[in-house]
Structure 1
Amino acid sequence: MMIHAQEGSSLAGNWQGTLKVSGMELRVVFHIREGADGAFTGTMDSPDQGAAGIPVSAVLQDGQQVTFEIEAIKGSFQGTLSQDGNRINGEWRQLGSRLPLELEKTNQPAEIKRPQEPRPPYPYRIEEITFPNEDAGIHLAGTLTLPDTSSPVPAVILVSGSGPQDRDETLMGHKPFWVLADYLTSRGIAVLRYDDRGIGQSEGDFKTATLTDFVNDVLAGLAYLRTRKEVDPDRIGVIGHSEGAWIAPEVAVKDGKVAFLVLLASPGVSGEELLLLQNRAILKASGFSDTFIDKQLRIQKKTFQVLKSAKSDSVARERIRALNRQFLESLSPEERERLEQQGSSEALLEARLPILVSPWFRQLLTYDSRPVLARVSCPILALNGSKDLQVPSRINLSNIERVLKESGHKNFVIKELPGLNHLFQHAETGLPNEYAKIEETFAPEALEEISTWILKLANEKRGQ
């Protein structure tokens, strides 16, 4: 929606302010443009969350009163334009929360800096490709990067973490799979990365997909790589990150010809155990009390039980809503106030419910990769960062190591990388709200570990 400028209006320009949420400061930037016809359009950036170019769906002005509506994130800003036209003092509203926000006009708005993002010219070939998953009746779209050589090369397929992911695993303004693909291909390893089904240019329905579907998509990608003359079919591996590191062992067992696995931030416990560990670690690092954490984990366990036992989605939704009300009633006024700073608990729950009752999440709760991991016979490299709060490294890496030793696996490397978070960035706390603020996308030592291990293995295999 576009609103025509009023005479003397000063809305066109860059407007920047800072939201204070639960002790965090999040910068917000609005870019408002005035067209030749006097109509306003705009976009919004959240540099500290790595978000840029979010469409402003409406720019409204009534005298000194200004409103920016951002339908894509269910947010809005309402404020009063100062007489000099350089400030707008008002309030940010989103998912039931209301926070004070003052915007100032600036010629130098905050920018998202990602120094590792690859820039041309590239020392390798890039092809935009599609490959079929014939059983699902869909085509998946991706990018294949190929070393500039005439000899067949080792190759990997990248498998992203949970949630709808594009081929670059874009998150918080970072593109870790693009950085990883660039690094590996520059060193002689072909890389296939692709959009999840139903995401980007890939066909299919992400909302109804399960882990099993994602495994089959990777198998289809492997089949495609084996058709490429540039790739050595005996030296193709799988690199999985987070949930993708759950999928990778399933692929290796079902395929039987995978040459190696690289497991990045891989869970070594069941889905339910992982979510409880993750929640406790993040709440603890965020400064919540043990009492509050215990209350939340009790409700979380009950929620998981509902999801495993409810006979229908509608029944599950109502029971989960009741549990949420029970949780809120158990909080002290101080705990309730802090929680509400992050947004209305009811509104946040309603936004999450479709995910909670989805086939994917229900399968994830009961999934445990350890029995499958015990059946993997190819070489394995498992890496995690010591500051990973989403997949806490020590318990998960130790479980992976235990499974591999007990199964008699002989060729594996388990390593914890100091100071790195879930995305393999150097981090202060490891909290997810840091991801976007960190300029680094992928720690050089992690990239080097992956590359060196694969090339050593690939060279040994070529010499056999």
Structure 2
Amino acid sequence: MKYKINIIIFSLISFLSFGQEKNYTELDVSIPTESVTIKGTLLKPYSEKKTSLIILIPGSGPTDRDGNNSMLKNNSLKYLAEGLIAHNISTFRFDKSVLSYSKGDTQKIDSLIFDVFIDEAKTIINYFKKTEAYSKIIVAGHSQGSLVGIIASKNNADGFISLAGAGRTIDEVLIEQIEKQAPILKDETIKILTELKKGNTVNEFNPMLISLFNKQVQPFLMSWIKYNPQTELKKLTIPILIIQGTKDIQVSNLDAELLHRANKNSQLKIIKNMNHLFKEIKGDLSENMGSYSNPNLPIMKELIAIIVTFINEIE
């Protein structure tokens, strides 16, 4: 009897392994830009027909193609790409360019501005357009990547998706965050941002704000502040999908609504219990924060379903 049971178990394992065999190719792709060579991963179905391609633009900080950085690993963008490829939608996700800089590239790091990210995104879009291998090219930007994607998509993409993207200028967002986390620093934050908006650097400020406003970061903030997401979104004439989660502690529903109002071609989808990293959160802030460093927690299936429906509508 034991022998027969082992045979059955072995057969079941073999069947499951066969059923989980990948039906897509996974390729490392390097794309030269004026600033640096962008490195990423392309997932493409085994199909003779052309499929839609979604270019996933990561959020702020030194974020890699999977949505991770050296401190926090959550695999948010990796799971998103894998979820989409299961519906025969190709994806390209990439490492932020700053991850390609060496420690000796101080000049590049010091001169980095927001426009560099926009130019890199445009180059990536044009790279895939020239291949003529895809039926549609859609840009999906997460968090900071939403604004990058909005601007890069103009006259370049067939559709745009905002994933937890801010609807206000970065100075407004920073002031709101400081007010919530350290109200005592709000007035000084406003003064610093006012000077940066004028194009003036600030040398002296409360050391508690050093991570936000150190000299290296200030030129980047100056270039970022000048872009208003609502103004830029109004310029798009392509289908737009705006997605926001109710458990997002970094971007509010208000931001999503402001983006939606800015362009009549947009759809707004609010996903209950989804946080900034597309994970389902049913508990408190502690659970939410814990998800930022949990690479095994899957993203919400509802997010995939909403994106797939959007892609099918514009095919």
TM over 0.5: yes
1:399 partner SS: helix
Say whether residues 1:225 and 2:79 are aligned partners: no
Whether the 8 Å contact between 1:388 and 1:430 is mirrored in structure 2 is no
User: Which amino acid letter does the alignment assign opposite residue 250 of structure 1?
Assistant: I
Q: Which residue of 2 aligns with 1:147?
A: 45
Q: CA deviation at 1:142?
A: 1.2
Q: CA deviation at 1:127?
A: 1.0
- The 2-side partners of 1:445 and 1:355 are apart by 42
Q: Which residue of 1 aligns with 2:67?
A: 169
* Higher mean displacement: 437-446 or 348-357: 348-357
User: Which amino acid letter does the alignment assign opposite residue 184 of structure 1?
Assistant: L
- The 2-side partners of 1:130 and 1:311 are apart by 37
Q: CA deviation at 1:143?
A: 1.1
Q: Which protein shows a greater Rg?
A: 1
Whether the 8 Å contact between 1:169 and 1:175 is mirrored in structure 2 is yes
Q: Which residue of 2 aligns with 1:392?
A: 252
Post-superposition CA distance 1:110-131 (Å, at most 9, x none) = xxxxxxxxxx843210111111
Q: Which residue of 1 aligns with 2:4?
A: none
Q: Which residue of 2 aligns with 1:251?
A: 152
Q: CA deviation at 1:237?
A: 0.7
Q: Which residue of 2 aligns with 1:456?
A: 313
Say whether residues 1:422 and 2:276 are aligned partners: yes
Q: Aligned pair in 2 of structure 1 residues 302, 257: CA closer, same or farther (>3 Å)?
A: closer
Q: 1:256-295 to 2 correspondence within 5 Å?
A: 256-281=155-180, 283=181, 293-295=182-184
Q: Which residue of 1 aligns with 2:302?
A: 445
Say whether residues 1:402 and 2:261 are aligned partners: yes
Q: Which residue of 2 aligns with 1:435?
A: 291
Q: CA deviation at 1:207?
A: 4.8
Q: Aligned pair in 2 of structure 1 residues 353, 375: CA closer, same or farther (>3 Å)?
A: closer
Q: Aligned pair in 2 of structure 1 residues 201, 454: CA closer, same or farther (>3 Å)?
A: farther
User: Which amino acid letter does the alignment assign opposite residue 198 of structure 1?
Assistant: V
Q: CA deviation at 1:227?
A: 3.1
Structure with the higher helix share, 1 or 2: 2
* Larger relative contact order, structure 1 or 2 (CA cutoff 8 Å, min sep 6): 2
User: Which amino acid letter does the alignment assign opposite residue 260 of structure 1?
Assistant: G
Q: Aligned pair in 2 of structure 1 residues 364, 257: CA closer, same or farther (>3 Å)?
A: closer
Q: Aligned pair in 2 of structure 1 residues 310, 193: CA closer, same or farther (>3 Å)?
A: closer
- The 1-side partners of 2:270 and 2:140 are apart by 17
- Of 194, 202, 216, 1:305 maps to 194
User: Which amino acid letter does the alignment assign opposite residue 251 of structure 1?
Assistant: A
1:440 partner SS: coil
Q: CA deviation at 1:352?
A: 4.7
- Of 193, 210, 213, 2:93 maps to 193
Whether the 8 Å contact between 1:195 and 1:201 is mirrored in structure 2 is no
Post-superposition CA distance 1:399-427 (Å, at most 9, x none) = 112211xxxx3x32102111121112122
Say whether residues 1:413 and 2:267 are aligned partners: yes
- Of 32, 57, 67, 1:132 maps to 32
- The 2-side partners of 1:413 and 1:400 are apart by 10
Whether the 8 Å contact between 1:173 and 1:436 is mirrored in structure 2 is yes
Q: Tell me the percent identity.
A: 22
- The 2-side partners of 1:206 and 1:430 are apart by 34
**RMSD between aligned alpha carbons?**
2.5
User: Which amino acid letter does the alignment assign opposite residue 160 of structure 2?
Assistant: L
Q: CA deviation at 1:378?
A: 0.3
Q: Aligned pair in 2 of structure 1 residues 400, 217: CA closer, same or farther (>3 Å)?
A: same
Gaps of 5+ in 2: 1-19
Q: Aligned pair in 2 of structure 1 residues 430, 416: CA closer, same or farther (>3 Å)?
A: farther
- The 2-side partners of 1:211 and 1:148 are apart by 36
Q: Aligned pair in 2 of structure 1 residues 437, 192: CA closer, same or farther (>3 Å)?
A: closer
- The 1-side partners of 2:101 and 2:43 are apart by 17
TM-score (structure 1 length as normaliser): 0.57
Q: Aligned pair in 2 of structure 1 residues 219, 273: CA closer, same or farther (>3 Å)?
A: same
Say whether residues 1:210 and 2:113 are aligned partners: yes
Q: Aligned pair in 2 of structure 1 residues 137, 304: CA closer, same or farther (>3 Å)?
A: closer
Gaps of 5+ in 1: 1-119, 284-292, 325-345, 459-464
Post-superposition CA distance 1:101-159 (Å, at most 9, x none) = xxxxxxxxxxxxxxxxxxx84321011111122xx253211111111101111111111
Q: Aligned pair in 2 of structure 1 residues 275, 429: CA closer, same or farther (>3 Å)?
A: farther
